[in-house]
Structure 1
Amino acid sequence: MAGIYIHIPFCKQACHYCDFHFSTSLGKKNEMITAIQKELFLRKSELEQTTIETIYFGGGTPSMLSFEEIEAILESVYENYTITDNPEITLEANPDDLTEAKIKEFSKSKINRLSIGIQSFFDTHLQFMNRAHAGDEAIKCLEIATQYFDNITIDLMYGIPKMTMQEWKENLEIAFSFNVNHISSYVLTVEPKTALEKFIRQGTCPDVSGSESWAHFSMLVEETEKQGYIQYEISSFGKPGCFSKHNSSYWKGATYIGIGPGAHSFDKKSRSWNVSNNPLYIKSIAKDIVPITKEILSLDDQYNEYVMTGVRTIWGISLAYIQEEFGEVYVQHTLKVAASHLQEKNIQLEANIIRTTQKGQFLCDGIAADFFRV
């Protein structure tokens, strides 16, 4: 089984924290859709022996496209690939795009999962992040969307400067009140070359606080567990049977291709990525050339990929898998690195599976880096 990720590189405005590839100009939208459809055709041989189980529209903001434009891209997927009978098809969307008419249209399409970028229900937080919607729009959007879609995930962000514990708790309580079956919750991260990084450097914005972020994270884990969610990945909380199939395939090392400018692909032995430039992408595809850069993964790279994703999930790092795929040298390396983290109670080792503790989850990037073989 494999997945297809489709990157829609358009946004109404730039969120201050975002470092994804996008453009706020829709001038080349039609050419972009045509190019995405053509890339799907040009790369169909990569997955001709595989059945597609998940299709994910990400971005950018896919909900900026019309129902007809999304349908046209989906038709190209079905024309060029073998799709399982009941695929998970996710559309990322922002509340300000999801009118009732648009939600109704999408509900009649093959899309069966909405990923709604709420981030917060408080206007002060949304304005700080430079989001395009307001808190009341987010609530109205969920009131409508939950009438038409059974499978909804929402994004919430914590660690926002000046966000109080009470505000964070209210964000969670509002989300719970809609009985959404999945929540993806991320700590605000200061990425290089973003507006947020510039504001903090200039002193016009307070820096994010590690202690406040940890307090928010602890509440997130505690409150979602009370509501019956399972934290199956550090930032992902799903009701039983409602885990994201597409994202889970990433963390389990499944094959996927990324379509569109800036999109990444992975086939266990290599990773690749398309050029992050809309005009160059469109021109190249028009010449039947996919503007892609490919990196062949060494055995160390493959091991690093495995531990990097494993430490983030409930499936953890399997010593038996490492033995089978990489050999005894890698098992001994893993155990040697694990020793100090076991002492610090950042991880636990049970039945030959290494998993992070709650304390370790907040430190997982550093823990993964310690396991890397360079």
Structure 2
Amino acid sequence: MSGIYIHIPFCKEACHYCDFHFSTSVKKKRELVEMLCKEIFLRKEELPAGELQTIYFGGGTPSLLSSGEMKMIFDTIYSNFTLAEEAEITLEANPDDLSREKLEMLMAAGINRLSIGVQSFFEEDLQLMNRAHNEVEALQSIQLAREYFDNISIDLIYGIPGMGEERWKKNIRIALDLGLPHFSCYALTVEPKTVLKKFIDKGIIKPVDDDASRLHFEILTRTLKDAGYIHYEFSNFGKPGYFSRNNTAYWMGKPYLGIGPSAHSFNGNKRKWNVSNNSLYIKSLEKGEIPSQEEVLSITDRYNEYVMTRLRTMWGISLKEVNERFGDQFFNYLLEQAKPLLTGNLLKLENEHYHVTEKGKFLSDGIAADLFLVNLEE
């Protein structure tokens, strides 16, 4: 299984919490799309032979693409790859972009899954985050999208300063009442060099409360479980048959090709990433050069990534797979490091797989770090 990720680095506005690569100027959008297509052609041999199972348009805001730009990208993909008949083709969209005309265009282009960046159904939260849409558009965009798409996911953010327990519960209830099959829910994090970080430092916005975030997470997991959703990855909840195949492939270590400025690629042994600059990206590809750097992953890197990604999922860490892929030294190290976590009821062993417990779920990144192997001479 392999997939393509396409980064569309344009947004109408800069969200205060975002540290992804994007530009609020769309002057070079058409030119950049042409270079995306050129990069796809130049790098088509990097994916293993076989059918593409997933295509994912991320950003930025991919819903800013025009029908002509979408067609250009899809024509390039179809002429250079074979697409599986039941391939998952996801596009991230903002509520304010989802008019009836836009939805009809996306469906006609071949998109079959929408990921809508709602973040909250309340105006005060949206304004704090500087989202381009309002609470009315948040709700109406989903209601309209359901007329065209069955496979819809929405993003929600918890732990927002000023968001109390009751408002978070109302956010979840509104989302559930919409009858959607998938939710991606994230704790608000304060990244360096973001507007949010500056506002917190200046006292304009209250700091993020970790205890409140943990409480919101516990409410979320309990409520969605009771509603029949499967918590298949730390931040993701889906009805059976509606898990994100694109994201699941990442967590399971499948190869993917990242196209566009700042996009990352992975082939199992090597990671590549493109320059995070639109102008440099365009200039390089105009000369037929791919503006990327790469890193060959050591066996320790691969082991640590395996532990980190699998521990976040419901599938957990397979002891058999660790032994087969990484050998006795890593296997024995894992067993030893896991002992205090098992004793502390943060980790459990089921069917020869390590899983985080309910107690450990909100601490899964820290638990993974305890299992990492460092300073191994290879």
What's the TM-score once normalised by structure 2's chain length?
0.97
Q: Which residue does 1:130 correspond to in 2?
A: 130
Residue 109 of structure 2 aligns to a residue in which SS? Answer: coil
Q: Which residue does 1:60 correspond to in 2?
A: 60
Letter in 1 for 2:260: G
| Shift, 1:360, TM fit | 1.5
1:146–1:178 Cα contact (<8 Å) kept: no
1:47–1:81 Cα contact (<8 Å) kept: no
Mapped pair 1:363 → 2:363: yes
Structure 2 residue runs without a partner (length 5+): none
Q: How many residues in Structure 1 have an aligned counterpart in Structure 2?
A: 374
Letter in 2 for 1:232: Y
Cα distance in 1, alignment partners of residues 169 and 108 from structure 2: 35
Q: Which residue does 1:155 correspond to in 2?
A: 155
- Aligned pairs for 1:280-295 (under 5 A) are 280-295=280-295
Mapped pair 1:40 → 2:40: yes
Residue 116 of structure 1 aligns to a residue in which SS? Answer: strand
Q: Which residue does 2:79 correspond to in 1?
A: 79
| Shift, 1:48, TM fit | 5.4
Letter in 1 for 2:362: F
Cα distance in 2, alignment partners of residues 127 and 183 from structure 1: 22
Q: Cα deviation per residue 1:265-323 (whole Å; 9 max; x = unaligned)?
A: 01110111000000000000111111111000000011011001011000100110000
After TM superposition, the structure 1 stretch with the greater mean CA deviation from structure 2, 101-110 or 50-59, is 101-110
Mapped pair 1:353 → 2:350: no
Letter in 2 for 1:296: V
Letter in 1 for 2:90: T
Q: Which residue does 1:206 correspond to in 2?
A: 206
Q: Which residue does 1:91 correspond to in 2?
A: 91
| Shift, 1:67, TM fit | 2.4
Cα distance in 1, alignment partners of residues 128 and 342 from structure 2: 39
What's the TM-score once normalised by structure 1's chain length?
0.98
Q: Which residue does 1:241 correspond to in 2?
A: 241
Residue 97 of structure 2 aligns to a residue in which SS? Answer: coil
Structure 1 residue runs without a partner (length 5+): none
2:47–2:267 Cα contact (<8 Å) kept: no
Residues 48 and 350 of structure 1: is their aligned pair in 2 closer, same or farther, counting only changes over 3 Å? closer
| Shift, 1:180, TM fit | 0.7
Q: Which residue does 1:188 correspond to in 2?
A: 188
Q: Cα deviation per residue 1:207-244 (whole Å; 9 max; x = unaligned)?
A: 11111001100010011111111000000000001000
1:152–1:181 Cα contact (<8 Å) kept: yes
Runs of 4+ in 1 over 3 A off after TM superposition: none
Cα distance in 1, alignment partners of residues 361 and 9 from structure 2: 31
Residue 68 of structure 2 aligns to a residue in which SS? Answer: helix
Letter in 2 for 1:178: L
Mapped pair 1:218 → 2:243: no
- Aligned pairs for 1:309-328 (under 5 A) are 309-328=309-328
| Shift, 1:50, TM fit | 2.9
2:70–2:109 Cα contact (<8 Å) kept: no
After TM superposition, the structure 1 stretch with the greater mean CA deviation from structure 2, 280-289 or 41-50, is 41-50
Q: Which residue does 1:305 correspond to in 2?
A: 305
Residue 322 of structure 2 aligns to a residue in which SS? Answer: helix
After TM superposition, the structure 1 stretch with the greater mean CA deviation from structure 2, 97-106 or 130-139, is 97-106
| Shift, 1:168, TM fit | 0.6
Q: Which residue does 2:227 correspond to in 1?
A: 227
After TM superposition, the structure 1 stretch with the greater mean CA deviation from structure 2, 169-178 or 357-366, is 357-366
| Shift, 1:75, TM fit | 1.3
1:48–1:82 Cα contact (<8 Å) kept: no
Residue 154 of structure 2 aligns to a residue in which SS? Answer: strand
Residue 359 of structure 1 aligns to a residue in which SS? Answer: coil
Letter in 1 for 2:54: T
Cα distance in 1, alignment partners of residues 257 and 203 from structure 2: 41
Cα distance in 1, alignment partners of residues 264 and 123 from structure 2: 33
